[in-house]
Amino acid sequence: MKKNILLLVVVTVLIGCKSVKKFGETVKIEAFGEKPMLIREPYLQMVRPTSTTITWKTDSISENCFVEFNEKGTTEKVVVKGNLVSHEGNKFNESILTNLKPYTTYNYNIYSNGHLLASGEDYHFTTAPDNKKTAFSFYALGDIGAKEQGSFAKEPATRITELAVKPDFGLGLGDIVYPKGESKNYDNHLFKPFQEVFKNIPFYPVAGNHDWLSDPEKNFEKEWALPNNEHYYSFNYSNALFIGLDSSNGDFYNVEEQVAWLTATLKENQSKFDWIVVYLHHNGKSCTYKKDYQHVENLYKIFANNKVDLVLNGHAHTYERLKPYDENGDVDLLRVNETAYENLDSRFVSVTIGAGGKINKKWAADPNDPKNCIDGSIVAYAEHIPSFALILIDGNVLRFKGIDSYTGKTFDEFTIKK
């Protein structure tokens, strides 16, 4: 979503009614007209050390919108006026909150036309840290939102809300909304099953081939607020850099510009961060029912030579962890049953996590079946199971868990130590 937002940051003085103080003058937040219908619960994006974006969707009668927030444990409220964007007969209500404190939890309420539309203990966000020491975690999954009968997206979403420690953000590994990435399907297919997650954990998706079956400019880009051009972008969190790529139909969106941008971003940042995670929709080599994508394999050299540690993708609706690759896409065959990688140097670990909301019921994971791949020895672990990943980074240790979306149990686990 484009961000030409007029911001009005004002301090609320609570004297019985909702009133806000703006540069010395007091303004009342007054409800007017009919209460707009909340079509989509608020969702968080771009949660940075001192800013965040909160968006919700109403019917078209919304004429203004506000977010009211306070630092957890305090009573002083701040109100930010948002911007309205019409889309397919409804309104996106979007506020960008600035001047926040790093790594601080805030509670928030949302208003449209002065009517309170959502508030309560689940509506909160925590800004990103402004240091490189804070331990953190994130979840990742691909191939998520399909028609209710054909999708189990509610399962990973529920397991994520049940985690003892809430992840700091989530990564969406493409094919975010089936069948064609159309805006009209976002609510039922994705936002409803994930609404309890998205209201207090920011999400960073990349587009997959199904998201490209409708025009991303009129669909994917309208639904999200993402860095850079919203197709390929980076953001940092603590001591890690995250790079999202748009592999489109396997051939990459604006491939030359995107690869040049990737190379430049890695060169500029590789000495600044301890960890680099790349995520995209398509796989390179794999032993699934999907082919190997040459455009992804072409990136192996760039990944291996520029300190990328972990590559996450979706596309095949299954779970598959590959042995650490070198720049030629060769694995070290001595690394059998290894779950504690140390000093990988110029190698990286690649994992398919594409059973986020759908699974291929007609297929079984078997790296030794020649129908699946030429060389099954590249696979470290495969399990055909509805699943998501939870990754924890604490200093020089990365801990990865593949989690069963129905039981919440960890079925694959490995660490990378530097």
Which residues in 314-373 contact Fe ion (CB under 5 A)?
315
SS3 of residue 187 by DSSP: helix
> Are the beta carbons of 215 and 253 closer than 8 angstroms?
no
Residue nearest Fe ion, Cβ-based = 315
Rg (CA), the chain: 22
Q: Which residue lies nearer to Fe ion by CB, 42 or 208?
A: 208
Q: Is 208 in the site for Fe ion (CB under 5 A)?
A: yes
Q: Please give the distance of CA 386 from its chain centroid, rounded to a whole number.
A: 18
Q: Is 295 in the site for Fe ion (CB under 5 A)?
A: no
**Min separation Cβ 290 and Fe ion, Å:** 8
**Min separation Cβ 249 and Fe ion, Å:** 9
Instruction: Look up tokens 């700091």; give the residue.
Output: 168
CA–CA dist 326, 350 (Å, integer)? 11
Q: Which residue lies nearer to Fe ion by CB, 133 or 361?
A: 361
CA–CA dist 369, 143 (Å, integer)? 24
Sign of the C-alpha dihedral computed for residues 118, 120, 126 and 127 taken in this order:
positive
**Min separation Cβ 282 and Fe ion, Å:** 7
Q: Which residue lies nearer to Fe ion by CB, 208 or 329?
A: 208
Q: Which residue lies nearer to Fe ion by CB, 146 or 331?
A: 146
Q: Which residue lies nearer to Fe ion by CB, 209 or 350?
A: 209
H/E stretch holding 398? strand 397-404
Q: Is 209 in the site for Fe ion (CB under 5 A)?
A: yes
**Min separation Cβ 226 and Fe ion, Å:** 19
**Min separation Cβ 172 and Fe ion, Å:** 12
Q: Which residue lies nearer to Fe ion by CB, 43 or 293?
A: 293
Give the β-pairing of 240-244 and 275-279. Answer: parallel
**Min separation Cβ 185 and Fe ion, Å:** 16
CA distances from 94 to 86, 87, 136 (A): 11, 13, 27
Residue type for position 101: K
H/E stretch holding 382? strand 379-383
Q: Per CB under 5 A, which region of 20-28, 206-214, 387-395, 400-408 contacts Fe ion?
A: 206-214
Q: Is 211 in the site for Fe ion (CB under 5 A)?
A: no
Give the β-pairing of 83-87 and 340-342. Answer: unpaired
**Burial of 140: CB neighbours in 10 Å, binned 0-12, 13-18, 19+:** buried
Helix ranges restricted to H, 130-284: 154-162, 183-186, 192-198, 220-223, 255-269
Q: Which residue lies nearer to Fe ion by CB, 40 or 282?
A: 282
Which residues in 145-204 contact Fe ion (CB under 5 A)?
175
Q: Is 299 left (phi over 0), alpha (psi -120 to 50) or beta?
A: alpha
**Min separation Cβ 182 and Fe ion, Å:** 16
Q: Which residue lies nearer to Fe ion by CB, 125 or 212?
A: 212
Interface pattern 296-315 for Fe ion (x via CB under 5 A): -------------------x
**Min separation Cβ 355 and Fe ion, Å:** 12
CA–CA dist 138, 390 (Å, integer)? 6
**Min separation Cβ 158 and Fe ion, Å:** 24
Q: Please give the distance of CA 97 from its chain centroid, rounded to a whole number.
A: 19
Q: Which residues pair with 100 in a beta bridge?
A: none
Q: Which residue lies nearer to Fe ion by CB, 373 or 393?
A: 373
CA–CA dist 56, 41 (Å, integer)? 6
**Min separation Cβ 223 and Fe ion, Å:** 18
Which residues in 97-116 contact Fe ion (CB under 5 A)?
none
Size of the site for Fe ion (CB under 5 A): 4
Q: Which residue lies nearer to Fe ion by CB, 196 or 297?
A: 297
Instruction: Give the interface with Fe ion as residue ranges (CB under 5 A).
Output: 175, 208-209, 315
